[in-house]
Chains A and B, each alone.
Chain A
Amino acid sequence: MSAPLIEIIGLSKAFPLRGGLFGGIRGDVKAVSDVSFSLAKGDVFGLAGESGSGKSTIARMIMGLTHPSAGAILLDGLDLTGLPLALARSKAVQMVFQNPGSSLNPRRSIGQSIAVPLEARKIARADVERGVARLLDMVQLPADFSTRYPHELSGGQKQRIAIARALAVEPQLIILDEPTSALDVSVQAKIIELLNELRRSLGLTYIFISHDLSLMRNFASRVGVLYLGRLVEEGPTRKLFEAPAHPYTRSLLAAVPVISAEEEAIKPKAPIVEGEIPSPMNQPPGCAFHTRCPLAFGLCDQQNPEAYWLDGDHFARCHLLAPDAASLGAKPIETLKRENAG
């Protein structure tokens, strides 16, 4: 692996919890706790997790829309956390939002929306027009779309516009926050194809946020699984999907609705996990997943598991993976491995 383009080190975010008569701070909500990962130029890093897992908060911190409580975000070695949301950052990192409907201003034409970053750079009017046409062409839309308004466009077309707008600043990294979850699958396929093409031709790097694991399997090169703001497992997509090590990853994969017997055979044989993700406001002690984990044992509600490396590039945070787990009362790790294989 070459030197990473972006390195996230110990990123945490706690929102103060206010209450009482005078709105004093009573505690905090840990939305993101100690998340670290890095990715090389040209990579697609997938952040998977259910709602409330903190994936959007991570995106907003990298974008500079929210300040981290702790940790660093290094882009080419430069720490972004100190910088305000300034031009310096907006040039390097861009974002495509989930809802193509609300990420475009309904009262501004497509051309005006795409031109925002060009105008911010004080480019001459004629050059702005040419730039807009070029960007529309990059997302495979005709130049006359610049005079249209968002309500005249389909969801897929709107998302193409949002991508064109993000490309306008010539970013190195684009954060894709559920870019296709509001679209039909036939449109999703087209958008994913476009994103792949752009990544290859422009040498872009993506952080891809999604709850759709099947899509992630096909799009990301590395995947990190979040649960209540913690990265519980991370590794190359293939390894993580074929040999998931964390019980949460396994139950997530087991719950994915699939459309063929081949896929069914790949899914881990885990029972449907009970209950729902707890509120970040009252996080369970120890491993956050122990309240729903079918394999939880004595240690799990006591201490937060460290990261155990299964391989040079694949880790999971689970006490079952500790070398001495069996002596502490856990089901032996071999059981887990055999289940994975079967």
Chain B
Amino acid sequence: MSASVSAASVRISIAYQNWHRFSRNPTALIGAAIVTIVVLAALLAPWIAPHPDHVGAIVNFRVRHQPPSAQYWFGTDNVGRDIFSRVLFGYRISLLLAAVVLGFAVPVGATLGLLAGYFGGWMEILIMRLTDVALAIPPLVMALAVTAVLTPNLLHAMFAIAALWWTWHTRLIFSITRTLRHQEFVEAARTLGASRFHILFRELLPNCASAILVKVSLDFGFVILIGAALSYLGLGVQPPTPDLGTMVANGADFLPDRWWESLLPGAAILFVALGFNLLGDGLRDLYDVESVR
């Protein structure tokens, strides 16, 4: 049509605007860098680890309790395995744990939150009261209980954490959906004959996406910490699979003289948790989502 359509201003894409703001936020950049390093390290562990064979149940008493050196960057543990290599492989377990837990918690939590927020009424009462009950149980206690009843292993630990984690997402999505459900674009979709499925997942869910992204980023750090705590208590990943929590626990016996055996895997946990938290905070500033934690 005529000139009224050839919009005056040059289009600046949302992606460019976001990148512009993101790249000027040092917190977010540091967080993104840490997360990238950790994820790459975990993915490439078999190829970049100096001693990939040290992952399993091998014993190498000749070099046990070696302090950090050029050959063993983080030193060696009480059976002579390279701690740095085991940390890299430990990241794989940590990230897998968090990904599986959130892979369950986010879809379930978001769906329940959408249902409660959009329909209200008895649906809201049922879902939100259930959420309240679940929120009252600390995840660590739940995990202790589950792994105590069943056998302690990675799968059960994931199950225990995931069984409670969805509640946070339900609450988040519920609060966003409740404010969105009377927006005109939702009513417009209703009047156009759109199905309920369409309104929930095509109209409402995309508007929750940035909040979910921020939440997931922050959650990654927390879930990794909880996983490490369970392993530390011996309820998570079982030896000889390399796990950061287990390594901290084993190394603790030799503190303070052989500090590297416990402190360096601990620092690795701190590093990854910090990375995800910084990234999450940065994304929160970027999207200006206040409702997340």
Interface string of B183-194 (1 = CB under 8 A from A): 111011111111
State how many residues of chain A have any CB contact under 8 Å with chain B. 45
A151 to B194, Cβ gap below 8 A? no
How far, in whole Å, are A47 and B146 apart by their CA atoms in the complex?
64
A119 to B192, CA, bound (A): 10
- Whether the Cβ atoms of A120 and B5 lie closer than 8 Å is no
Residue pair A103, B184 in contact (C-beta under 8 Å): yes
Q: Does B198 contact A (CB under 8 A)?
A: yes
CB <8 Å contact, A107 and B207 = yes
1/0 per residue, CB under 8 A from B, across A150-183: the answer is: 0111101100001001101100000000000000
Q: Which residues of B contact A142 (CB under 8 A)?
A: 1, 5
- Interface status of B14 (Cβ within 8 A of chain A): yes
Q: Does B129 contact A (CB under 8 A)?
A: no
For chain B, the count of residues having a C-beta within 8 Å of the partner chain is 25
Given contacts A63-B191, A120-B194, A169-B193, contact A102 B185 (CB under 8 A): yes
Give the chain A neighbours of B202 by CB distance below 8 A.
108, 112
9-residue interface stretch from A1-9, A84-92, A209-217, A286-294:
A84-92
Q: Are B185 and A152 in contact (CB under 8 A)?
A: no
Task: A87 to B191: give the CA distance in the assembly, Å.
Answer: 9
Write the A130-165 contact mask toward B (1 if CB under 8 angstroms, else 0): 000000000011100100010111101100001001
Interchain CB contact under 8 A, B193 and A117 = yes
Whether a CB of chain A sits under 8 angstroms from the CB of B206 is yes
Contact partner, B184, options A99, A152, A157, Cβ 8 Å: A99
Query: Once the chains bind, are A104 and B189 in contact (CB under 8 Å)?
Result: no
Kindly report which residue of chain B lies nearest to residue A96, judged by CB atoms. B188
- Please tell me if the beta carbons of B188 and A149 are within 8 angstroms of each other in the complex: no
With A140-B1, A165-B192 as contacts: A154 and B184 at CB distance below 8 Å: no
Structural contact, A65 and B191, CB atoms closer than 8 A: yes
Taking a contact as CB atoms under 8 Å apart, the answer to whether A95 and B207 are in contact is no
Chain A's closest residue to B204 (CB) is A105
Contact A107 B193 (CB under 8 A): no
Indicate whether A95 sits within 8 Å of B188 (C-beta atoms), given known contacts A141-B5, A157-B7: yes
Question: Are A105 and B5 closer than 8 Å at their CB atoms?
Answer: no
Cβ-defined contact, B198 with A116, below 8 A: yes
Q: Are B193 and A91 in contact (CB under 8 A)?
A: yes
A94 & B191 in contact (Cβ 8 Å cutoff): yes
Cα A120 to Cα B193 with chains together (Å) = 7
Q: Is A64 an interface residue (CB 8 A)?
A: yes
Say yes or no: is B141 at the interface (Cβ < 8 Å to chain A): no
Give which listed residue, B1, B11, B183, B193, contacts A87 with CB less than 8 A.
B193
Given the complex, which residues of B lie within 8 Å of A162, measured CB to CB?
A: 188
- Decide: A103 near B191, CB < 8 A? Known: A141-B5, A149-B14, A157-B5: no
List B158-204 residues whose CB lies under 8 Å from chain A: 183-185, 187-195, 198, 202-203
Q: Which residues in B have some Cβ–Cβ distance to A below 8 Å? A: 1-2, 4-5, 7, 11, 14, 183-185, 187-195, 198, 202-203, 206-207, 209
